[in-house]
Structures are given as structure tokens and as C-alpha cells.
Amino acid sequence: MNDIIKTLAILIVFIAVGLSCSSISGNETKDDSETKEQKMAVIDYENLEKAYFAGGCFWCMQPPFDRLEGVVETWVGYSGGTEKDPTYNQVASGQTSHAEAIEVVYDPEKISYEKILETFWINVDPTQANGQFADKGRQYRAAIFYVGEPQKKKAEASIKELEESGKFNNPIVTIVEEFKTFYRGEDYHQKYYEKNPIHYNLYKKGSGREGYIKKTWKDGFPDD
């Protein structure tokens, strides 16, 4: 009974504060473009590689990759669609064919693509086809956008391994498709978990993502 009461309490908080990845509009934090330029100026991109994923609300996809040693930077944005220069409101409301996505810039000498894939799987529900957790719709689909044939083969191999593991009763439905383009999201969405930690943590819990990850992977992931 206590667990039921706790669950109801979380849901009430979730509804009361409008905790949806699409519930926040722009102009909440100052523009940090200068910081971006400063960071880009000191990063040697020549020997780095990129990986792209969609995993539901992009706020929750950034922290786990930021924690990885060998990941140089991450950006949240939009990918998987055909429309040019989409805005957050357009994507989040389902007006485009894009999904909320993340760009992971990493050093292959320090971290493998397989390790990055492992982190992706731990943070999504690969059996959910209509979105991710409380966020429903194509704009919240889970997907791996591979860059080149090597990434494609590794992504497909990771799906096969996951299927054969017997961890999931339902089929793996996460999409694997060729990367086309990535549009960075608005500044106030970048590192949202740092800028708005209270709302972020309430959202992660209320959306069902946190509980699902802990139940599915037990202690196989660090807390934010």
C-alpha cells in the first residue's frame, strides 16, 4: 500500500507542475553561445567521432553521456526528419518528422562506440514503439542514427545481443537508420539537468524513466 501511495504522490506532483518534456517554452535562461564558442575553440575535432541517438525527452539523454570518460561534449537537438531548422515547439508538438535527439562527440582512443551504445540502451525502453515512457508520439521515438557502415554493423550487433540476452519479454523495436542531419536545440535546453535540476529530477521520476531504469538494470547505472 505504501508503494501505491508513493506512486500516486509522484503522479500528482508530475501533473501539478506540468512535468512534460514539451511543457517548457523558451527564454528561460540566458544565451550561452559565447561559452559554446569558447569550448569549440579549444577542442580538436579532427580526431573525434560523433554518435547520434533519439531516446525520448532529450533532457534525460544528456547526463548519462556527459558522465562517460572519453566523451568530449554533447548537444541536444533534433534529427531523423526532413524539415529544415525545426524549432522545439514544432518538434515537441509533433509538427515535424524529427525526433528529439542527442549528438555525442567522443574520442575513439578513450571510449568505444560499443560502450556508447551500451549507455544508450540502459537509458531507453527499447521495446516501446510509441515514444518513451510518459512522452508519446513519433517525436519521442527511440532510434540509433548511424554514421557510416561500421556504426551500422555495431548497432545491429548490439540489438542482436540484447535480443539474445533474454532481458526483455517484448521485441526490440528501436529504429536503426542512417544519419542525415542534426539541428542543435535552443540554448535553454542544453544541459537542462544543470540549469533546472529540481524540475529535471521531478520530470525524470514522474515520467517513469527513473523507475524503469532502476527496475530493469538494478545497480547497473550511476545516479544523476
List the catalytic residues: 57
- Bridge partners for 177 per DSSP: 145
Owner of C-alpha cell 513519433: 138
- Bridge partners for 136 per DSSP: 131
Task: Report whether 15 contacts 7 (CB < 8 A).
Answer: no
Grid cell of 172 as nine digits: 526490440
Task: Report whether 129 contacts 173 (CB < 8 A).
Answer: yes
Task: Report whether 87 contacts 28 (CB < 8 A).
Answer: no
CA angle 95, 99, 102 (to 5 degrees): 145
CA angle 128, 57, 187 (to 5 degrees): 160
